[in-house]
Chain A
């Protein structure tokens, strides 16, 4: 069994327990006053504009797709970084090729204005 991951499991359990505990404390000690303003959805302090379920702009789609692609790229960094010292220069070149190809895509996306909002 993957015993070496026990610390991570303990961390998760502690984090959840702490969150539950704090909410619990708040519900015991906090005063309970129900005001209309307090019942509004919290939107970083300002008064919410429009319903929360309105349609989002289609431009978010491109952002999400680009996010996935770069996320997958980053996933490949981890195994490389772990063995980098033992594999040395050759692995570095391989990774540079990998990044280089994706960098072409990045430059293309930038130049095409895919990263601009307007």
Chain B
């Protein structure tokens, strides 16, 4: 077994354990912290695949910013301790069936694919790194890049409109 394979399986084990911990823990804060660990493991997966930039984005955006939002929301709602779970009766069987379908689909993609997408080729040096992403982003994907900033602007306006208390003239 190569080192890469050993690394992959140990990371996969951590990812699965943290994923289960996230599902099982009764305290929402613990669940969120499991999720942080899970995000970190996935970031290392990206790194193994050569996606250095994605790995960094995963750590900084998901494990950083989005988890801060998760924790804030949990604390704002005061939902640290989950009460009695009132799940719908058919939820569990449906979830199991859907996960089996997902597994079959993943298995299909991995093993029974009719045509390979592209012959396995050696990736160019630095593929997936910040430099190659930057080149692609600022040349080929210029339009999506600029639209993203508009999207962020709209999200910002929306968040402020929906949560900020409107100052009336009396209060000013």
Contacts and interface: CB of A to CB of B under 8 A. Distances in A.
Given A61-B76, A71-B65, A105 B153 contact: yes
A11 interface: no
A75 B60 contact: yes
Contacts of B130: 78-79, 82-83
A100 B121 CA distance: 40
Contacts of A15: none
B48 A64 contact: no
Interface residues of B, number: 48
Dominant SS at the B interface?
helix
B50 A2 contact: yes
A45 B95 CA distance: 49
B134 A62 contact: no
8 contacts: A5-B52, A62-B163, A62-B164, A65-B156, A67-B65, A86-B135, A105-B153, A105-B157
Interface in A10-38: none
Given A1-B3, A58-B76, A60-B72, A98 B146 contact: yes
Given A2-B50, A79-B53, A109 B146 contact: no
Contact of B135 (A62, A87, A98): A87
A90 to B, nearest CB: 8
Nearest to A60: B72
Nearest to B156: A105
Name the interface size band of chain A. 35 or more
Interface in B135-172: 135, 137-139, 142, 145-146, 148-150, 152-153, 155-157, 159-160, 163-164, 167
Nearest to B155: A69
Contact of B164 (A2, A94, A113): A113
A78 to B, nearest CB: 5
Contacts of A91: 138
A109 to B, nearest CB: 6
B101 interface: no
Given A55-B75, A108-B160, A67 B153 contact: no
Contacts of A58: 76, 163
A64 B72 contact: yes
